[in-house]
Amino acid sequence: MTTEEKPNWYPMWKNLKLDIQKHDQLLGVLPEIYEEIYIVSQKNRPQGMNFFEFVVGDIHGIRISELVKAQQEGKKVVATFCLYIPDEIITALDAIGVGLCGGTNFSNFASEGLLPANTCALIKSSLGFGLGNICPYYQLADLIVGETTCDGKKKCWEILAKSKPVYVVETPQCKDRLQAREHYLAELRALITRLEELTKKRLTAENLKAAMEKMKKKRHQLKRVYNTRKSDPVPISGKDSLLVSQIAFYDDPDRQIQMVGQLADELEKRVKEGVGALNKGAKRILISGTPMAIPNWKLHHLVETKGAAIVAEETCTGTRYFESDYNIKGNTVEELLEVLADRYMSINCACYTPNSGRKDDIKRQVKEYKADGVILYTLSFCQPYDIESIGLEKDLKEQGIPVLSINTDYTSDDEGQLNTRIEAFLEML
Ligand code: BJ8
C-alpha cells in the first residue's frame, strides 16, 4: 500500500512512495514533514527552539529509549488522551504519563472499517496510530486511560481494549453541579486504585504533593512562554509555540521545566529588546477550538505564511493545558485530591454542558493577547466544538470581535479554499 492510494495530507505526501504500514519507513517521514512543512518560511527563530526541533525530529528516538529503560527498571508507562486525567496522580505513583493523540491522516488506514467515515480526524488518527503499530508510545503503554468526554472517544476505548489494557475514567457531563465534583473525586479514587495495582506503589500525601509541585512548575514555564506572546512584535511564532506545547505532552517533565524555562528566559529578553519572530504590527490572531496534535500544524502554517501572527491557542494544546492553577494546600491525600479536582474541573471543554466558561476565556484572552481577530477551529465531525462554534461566532461578533470559523481535517483538500478565506479575513482586520 502506498501513500498515493491514501488521502493526501499535504501535497508532499503525493510524492512519497513508501509502504506506510512499515514502521521503520515512517520513522524517517516525520522529520521530513517537519522540514518541508514546519521550518519553511519561519524566520528569526529563538535559539531555544533547537531543543524542541531536536525532540520532534527524534520523536521515536531518545524519549522512547528512556521509556524502555524505565520499564526495564520496573516503571510503568500510562497513556492518556485528555486533559481531565491528572498527570499528578500518574507521576506520584512513579509511573510515566504520556499524552497520546493523532495529528495526521497517514495512520487512518489502520482504523478503516472500524469507524464510520464521519468520525473526527483526531480519533481516526489516534486509533490508527495504535492499531497500525505505528506509534511506539502506544506499543510501550502498560495501560491506556480513557475518559467519557465525547461519544467518539467513548466508543474508541472499546475498540482499543481489544488489543491493550484500557481503563476508562467516567468524567462528568454537567460540571457545575455539586454531585459532578463528588463524582469526579470518586472516579479519581477509582483511578488511583487501578494505578496502584499496576505500579505496586501507594499514593501518599507526600508523593502526591511532590508531583503537584512538579506539574505546577512545568505549567508555569509554559505560561511564561505564552505571556511573551502578548507583546508586539511576538518573540516567537505561533507555530513554534504550538510545537512547544505539543512536546509537553510526552517529554520528561523535569527536562521540560528546564528547557521551556530556558526558552522563556530567551523570549523575555527578546521582548525587552523588541526582537520579533514576525513583524511588529502583524495582525494578531487567537485560535480557539479542538486540540492540534503533532504533526498538525496546518492552520498555523496557513495563517503565519500570510504574515499574521498567531498569538495564543485557546485549545487543549494551548492555554487550557496550563492556565488553571492551584495552591498546594492540605496534608492528606483526600485534601490534595480536592485541590486537583477543582483545578481539572475548571478546564472549559465543549464536552461539558453548559460550557459558558469557554466564551469568557476567549473574550479575556482576546484582551490579554491583544488579538485583532479569532479563528474558531473545529475538526470536522467534532460535534461538541462544531455546535459551540455557531453560538460563539454570533456572540463574539456582537461584541465587535472579528471571527472566522474554520471546519477542517488533516487533508490538504481544502487548502485553496482555506487560503482564500484566511486572506480575506486578514484583509478585513
Ligand atoms: S478536554 S478537547 S482533550 S475531550 S476533537 S476527540 S472532542 S470529536 S479531544 Fe478533548 Fe479532553 Fe476536551 Fe481537551 Fe472528541 Fe472533538 Fe474529536 Fe476531541
CA of 222 from ligand 1 middle (Å) equals: 21
Asked if the structure places residue 285 within a domain, the reply is yes
Is 256:248 a contact under the CB 8 Å cutoff?
yes
pLDDT score at 41 = 61
Say what the pLDDT of residue 204 is: 98
Please tell me the predicted confidence (pLDDT) of residue 35. 62
Report the alpha-carbon distance of residue 401 to residue 374 in Å, rounded. Answer: 7
Domains identified in the chain, total number: 1
In terms of C-beta distances under 8 Å and separation of at least 24 residues, what long-range contacts does 193-198 make, across chains too?
194/143, 194/167, 195/78, 195/89, 195/90, 195/93, 195/95, 195/143, 196/93, 198/76, 198/78, 198/95, 198/142, 198/143
Strand order in the sheet with 96-99: 96-99, 77-80, 143-147, 166-169
161 found inside a domain = yes
Distance 106 CA to ligand 1 centre (A): 20
Answer yes or no: is 187 within a domain: yes
Cα distance between residue 372 and residue 426, in whole Å:
9
CA pair distance 218, 227, nearest whole angstrom: 15
Asked if the peptide bond before residue 295 counts as cis, ω within 30 degrees of 0, the response is yes
Which residue's CA is minimally distant from atom 3 of ligand 1?
82
The 373-379 sheet, strands edge to edge:
309-314, 284-289, 373-379, 403-408
pLDDT tens digits for the chain (429 residues)?
344 433 333 333 333 333 444 444 454 566 566 666 666 567 889 999 999 988 887 766 788 889 999 999 999 999 999 999 999 999 999 999 999 988 888 777 888 899 999 999 999 999 988 888 778 899 899 999 999 999 999 999 999 999 999 999 999 999 999 999 999 999 999 999 999 999 999 999 999 999 999 999 999 999 999 999 999 999 999 999 999 999 999 999 999 999 999 999 999 999 999 999 999 999 999 999 999 998 888 899 899 999 999 999 999 999 999 999 999 999 999 999 999 999 999 999 999 999 999 999 999 999 999 999 999 999 999 999 999 999 999 999 999 999 999 999 988 888 899 999 999 999 999
Q: Specify if 51 maps to a domain.
A: yes
In-domain check, residue 154:
yes
Q: Alpha-carbon distance 316 to 347, whole Å?
A: 9
**Which atom of ligand 1 has the smallest separation from the CA of 351?**
12
- DSSP one-letter code for 2: B
Mutate to test the pocket of ligand 1, among 127, 349, 377 (most ligand atoms within 8 A of CB): 349
What is the reported pLDDT for 7?
Answer: 33
293 CA distance to ligand 1 centroid (A)?
11
Q: Is the CB of 365 within 6 Å of ligand 1?
A: no
Assigned domain for 2 exists: no
Q: Establish if 307 belongs to a structural domain.
A: yes
288 touches ligand 1 (CB under 6 Å): no
Q: According to the model, what pLDDT value does residue 19 have?
A: 42
In whole angstroms, give the CA distance from residue 365 to residue 230: 10
Q: Judge if the beta carbon of residue 373 lies within 6 A of ligand 1.
A: no
Residue 108 carries which DSSP code?
Answer: G
User: Is residue 392 a contact partner of residue 362, using CB atoms and an 8 Å limit?
Assistant: yes
Ligand 1 pocket check for 152: Cβ under 6 Å: yes
Output the residue whose Cα is nearest ligand 1's atom 14: 150
Q: What is the pLDDT of residues 298-351, one digit of tens each?
A: 899 899 999 999 999 999 999 999 999 999 999 999 999 999 999 999 999 999
Q: Ligand 1 centroid to 382 CA: how many Å?
A: 8
In a domain, 1, yes or no: no
Q: Provide the residue range defining the domain that includes 211.
A: 9-428
